[in-house]
Amino acid sequence: MNSYQIAFGIGLSAAVLVILFYSLWPRRKKTNSVSSVTTPDLAAIAERKSMEVFNDTFREELRNRGRLHFEKVINENALFLQQDLRLTTNELNTFMKDEIQKVLKDEFSKYEASITSARDIALESIKKTQEVIDQQRAQLEKQMNEQAAEEKQRLIDRFEKNMADILNHYILDAIGGEIDLTDQLEYIFQSLEENKKAILEDVKNGA
Amino acid sequence: MELKMPMTIATKQDVLRIQREVRDYEVTVVQNNVRKTTNESPLAVSAGLRDLVQLNQINLNEKNVPKKLITQLDEALRKVILFHMSFATEPTDEVTQKLVAWFRKEINPKILLNIGVQPTIAVGAVLRTQSKQYDFSLRKHLQNSQQDLVKVLRGE
């Protein structure tokens, strides 16, 4: 409860108290001439008696009572105000807490969603990049394997194609210095015998 | 009458060399007659010429016989069948004579050889006749056996 509310409560209590005093304060009644003629003493007596009843002591008593009542009202109002203030403060705290939590929750949700989205995008990008790298690697591996196979086959083909020359070259290197035609005569005569018919035919045609 | 070629005359070069030798022999005989030199011992001749005159029963000391022999050798050179054989190394006379003997016996008596050297042959020989070539070298043998070699290499 703020100071304005407290001041308002105090002012309200004071107004009530003034009205109470005003209503209870003794007033001089207006009498007509007939009655004053007829009952002049009664009015005086009544006034005197009332003055006796509402003497200073009684007034002081009323004043004290009013003061006590006023203090009581003030205390009660202050208590109520304090309770209201505490309740309002609690409600306000709860409201603020809820609002802040709600706002923070929303913001965190948005932030989390944003982070999640960014993470998903990054993961997707990484995944695509990885896929592209894997594809390129697979393609490169395939090309290299094909080229290696082609090169291997080419070498094998070349070796098989030129195998006779290669073997002849190695044999020539190995036995080049130890060639003896005498040892080869048997092989040469065997070859001549195998081709004898063709040679005869050739000589016959040439002649 | 055609000349019979001994085995010691195996190549065209041998024939040409015998011709030169016969000319020299004739000149020597003429010189001896001019000088009145009496040489009891016969003139030294090569084995080829010796075998030639023995095989054909020719007396070179008779007049005009050397000229006639040279003419006959020219005639023989025109009629000869020339085969060319290449080897990895220069063959010996013995190898050459064996080959010529086989050719003259199995193919034709008029055959002469022209010997060549081709180191890449390594083993065997290459024969070139008048219109064909016969490769008896190891390279050709390996080429003919290439399929078998490939099968062996592949473990088939």
On the 0-12 / 13-18 / 19+ scale of CB atoms within 10 A, A69 is middle
DSSP for B121-150 reads: G-SSEEEE-SS-EEE-SHHHHHHHTHHHHH
- Can you give the pLDDT at residue A187? 87
Contacts of A192 in chain B (CB under 8 A): 102, 106, 127, 136
Answer yes or no: are the C-beta atoms of B98 and A188 closer than 8 Å.
Answer: no
The pLDDT-based confidence of A135 (bands split at 50, 70, 90) is: very high
| Closest by CA position to A195, among listed B127, B113, B104, B112 | B127
What residues have CB less than 8 Å from A121, skipping those under 6 apart?
none
pTM over 0.80: no
C-alpha to C-alpha distance for A171 and B139, rounded to whole angstroms: 10
User: Using one digit for the tens of pLDDT, what is the confidence trace for B122-132?
Assistant: 788 999 988 88
For residue B6, is pLDDT > 80?
Answer: yes
Answer yes or no: are the C-beta atoms of B131 and A205 closer than 8 Å.
Answer: yes
Give me the torsion for CA of B19, B21, B24, B28, rounded to 10°: -130
Calculate Rg over the CA atoms of chain B.
21
| Closest by CA position to B144, among listed A185, A181, A191, A197 | A191
Whether residue A120 is contained in a domain is answered as no
Residue in the structure block whose two tokens are 């309200």: A12
| Closest by CA position to B87, among listed B45, B119, B111, B60 | B119
Segments of chain B assigned E as strands = 81-87, 111-117, 125-128, 133-135
Which two structure tokens, joined as six digits, stand for A25? 């304060």
Whether residue A31 is contained in a domain is answered as no
Answer yes or no: are the C-beta atoms of B81 and B111 closer than 8 Å.
Answer: yes
- Interfacial residues of A (vs B; Cβ cutoff 8 Å): 160, 163-165, 167-168, 171-172, 175-176, 179, 181-182, 184-185, 187-189, 191-192, 195-196, 198-200, 202-203, 205-207
Whether residue A124 is contained in a domain is answered as no
The minimum CA-CA distance between A141 and chain B, rounded to whole Å, is 27
Whether residue A58 is contained in a domain is answered as yes
pLDDT, chain B, mean: 84
- Can you give the pLDDT at residue A128? 94
Whether residue A172 is contained in a domain is answered as no
- Can you give the pLDDT at residue A176? 64
Contacts of A199 in chain B (CB under 8 A): 107, 127, 129, 132, 134
Burial A157-174 (b: 16+ CB within 10 A, else e): eeebeebbeebbeebbee
C-alpha to C-alpha distance for B6 and B54, rounded to whole angstroms: 9
What residues have CB less than 8 Å from B108, skipping those under 6 apart?
A203, A207, B81
What is the tally of structural domains in chain A?
1
| Closest by CA position to B81, among listed B129, B126, B9 | B129
Whether residue A78 is contained in a domain is answered as yes
In a 3-state reduction of DSSP, which class is residue B85?
A: strand
Worst-scoring range by mean pLDDT, A37-41, A86-90, A114-118? A37-41
Whether residue A57 is contained in a domain is answered as yes
**Higher per-residue confidence, A144 vs B80:** A144
Chain A interface, best mutation among B143, B147, B154, by max A CB count within 10 A? B143
Burial A31-67 (b: 16+ CB within 10 A, else e): eeeeeeeeeeeeeeeeeeeeeeeeeeeeeeebeeebe
Answer yes or no: are the C-beta atoms of B93 and B52 closer than 8 Å.
Answer: no
> Which structural domain, as residue segments, surrounds residue A72?
3-26+37-105
Of all residues in chain A, the one with the smallest CA distance to B83 is: A203
Query: Tell me, what's the ipTM?
Result: 0.80
User: Using one digit for the tens of pLDDT, what is the confidence trace for B7-56?
Assistant: 888 888 888 999 999 988 888 888 877 877 666 566 678 888 888 888 88
For residue A77, is pLDDT > 90?
Answer: no
Give the nearest partner residue to A203 out of B88, B129, B138, using CB atoms. Answer: B129
Answer yes or no: are the C-beta atoms of B86 and B121 closer than 8 Å.
Answer: yes
Whether residue A138 is contained in a domain is answered as no
In a 3-state reduction of DSSP, which class is residue B97?
A: helix
